[in-house]
Amino acid sequence: NAGVTQTPKFQVLKTGQSMTLQCAQDMNHNSMYWYRQDPGMGLRLIYYSASEGTTDKGEVPNGYNVSRLNKREFSLRLESAAPSQTSVYFCASSAGTSGGALGTDTQYFGPGTRLTVL
């Protein structure tokens, strides 16, 4: 099992450019998440998908959109990148249920995407 995979590993964008970060999991998990990690701030939730077919905003959704393409895949799109979006982005998944994510769940993280916006 590969677990949670993310592409690309590194990306440099110019202000205003767009890009999509891809995430896939092979653990048959119901719930998937996108976080950003900034120094001294821990991880902050951008969007999550509690189950296939649903997406919800997290703590810091502005400037991002997501798509739960199917049960395996959850993508994050930056429509017009800004320097404030320079960060490390992590995708995660958890078992959840068909009805939604659970607070007791262990989350499994991908290796991250390091994004720089100039």
For residue 86, give the amino acid letter: T
| Dihedral sign, Cα of residue 28, residue 33, residue 36, residue 41 | negative
Q: What is the closest distance, in whole angstroms, from the C-beta atom of residue 90 to other proteins in the complex? A: 6
- The tokens describing 117, both together, are 């916006």
Region from 18-26, 68-76, 79-87, 102-110 binding other proteins, contact rule CB under 8 A: 102-110
CB-facing half-sphere around the CA of 55: CA atoms within 13 A: 19
Residue placing its CB nearer to other proteins in the complex, 11 or 17: 11
Q: Contact residues for other proteins (CB under 8 A)? A: 4, 31, 35, 40-45, 48, 50, 56, 58-59, 90, 92, 96, 99-112
